[in-house]
Amino acid sequence: MMLPMDTRPIGVFDSGLGGLTVVRQLLQLLPGEDIVYFGDTGRVPYGTRSAETIEKYARQDCRLLLGHDVKLIIAACGTVSSVAPQVLSHLAVPAMGVVEPAAQAAMDATRSGRIGILGTAATIRSASFQRYMLEARPDLRIFSQACPLFVPLVEAGWIQRDNDATIAVARRYLQPLIQQQVDTVILGCTHFPLLSPILSDILGENVVLIDSGAACASRCARELERYGLLNHSKKMGECRFYVSDCPDDFTHVAQMFLGREVKEDIHQVDLEFLASRD
């Protein structure tokens, strides 16, 4: 019996390159799928923008991916997923963010019911993770911490386990969560998994870190199967990368996020063209 098959690519977008952590997980889970990735590097970060601006950028990002005939869209951006989820609910294809998959994974992992959330300023202001979890489990105790310096530190490549500057910043951000004795921490931005070794060293081995990218990729695999959209061909999938700023530095930083060499061409998207279609 022939299984239904859809060879269209999966579309993934983020304000910068953090969403490549989702791509990395997708490549492991769904090696036969093609992926189109758009990193809005010309307007990063989204986390410091107004809700109206974040929604506008998200609409433009989705429109760009739909122009590549994608079959599903992932907002691999905690800020968009938290502040502008309505954009994802009005598309012609299935779409998802990182909030619900990560929140569910945290609820499954916690032993004490005390959960911490690390995110951008906009994500924390939105209280999106808290709302989702408390609707399901009002007994939970949830503590959030905005970490605005984490994204620039990661994109600068300051992720080494012995980097004194990043360790100092992380200690400052994590201290309130340590005081609250959380046993599970959601990494609510897809940049943050690259800091996992540093965060684990500070929090201790008994605290579970929830990688929002990994949780989202797992949800994506289930959704593709649910909608009959999986690509069952035997060939390895291909990636196409698009950015909205100069692509010269993309390859080096992308290798850090993807954990592999980037041999694909990097294409630049004109921001004025994106905005003109809004």
User: Is the residue at 267 inside a domain?
Assistant: yes
Residue span of the structural domain in which 178 resides: 99-212
Q: Give the pair of three-digit tokens for residue 235.
A: 């060939």
Residue 117, CB half-sphere, CA atoms under 13 Å: how many?
Answer: 34
**Together in a domain, 221 and 261:** yes
**Together in a domain, 162 and 248:** no
User: Is the residue at 272 inside a domain?
Assistant: yes
Buried b / exposed e along 216-240 (16+ C-beta atoms within 10 A): bbbbbbebbeeeebbbeeeeebebb
Q: What is the CATH number of the domain that holds 30?
A: 3.40.50.1860
Contacts of 172 (CB under 8 A, 6+ apart): none
**Together in a domain, 226 and 90:** yes
Q: How far is CA 25 from CA 119, 211, 217, 259, in A?
A: 20, 10, 6, 10
User: Is the residue at 75 inside a domain?
Assistant: yes
**Together in a domain, 62 and 145:** no
Per-residue pLDDT of the chain (278 residues; tens, 9 = 90+): 455 689 999 999 999 898 999 999 999 999 999 999 999 999 988 988 999 999 999 999 999 999 999 999 999 999 999 999 999 998 999 999 999 999 999 999 999 999 999 999 999 999 999 999 999 999 999 999 999 999 889 988 899 999 999 999 999 999 999 999 999 999 999 999 999 999 999 999 999 999 998 999 999 999 999 989 999 877 889 999 999 998 887 888 888 889 888 989 999 998 787 777 66
Q: What is the per-residue pLDDT across 190-199, written as a single tens digit (0 to 9) for each? A: 999 999 999 9
User: Is the residue at 5 inside a domain?
Assistant: no
**Together in a domain, 113 and 201:** yes
The set of catalytic residues is 77, 189
Q: Which long-range contacts (CB under 8 A, 24 or more apart) does 158-167 make?
A: 159/194, 159/195, 159/198, 159/256, 161/197, 161/198, 161/201, 163/198, 166/195, 166/198, 167/198, 167/201, 167/202
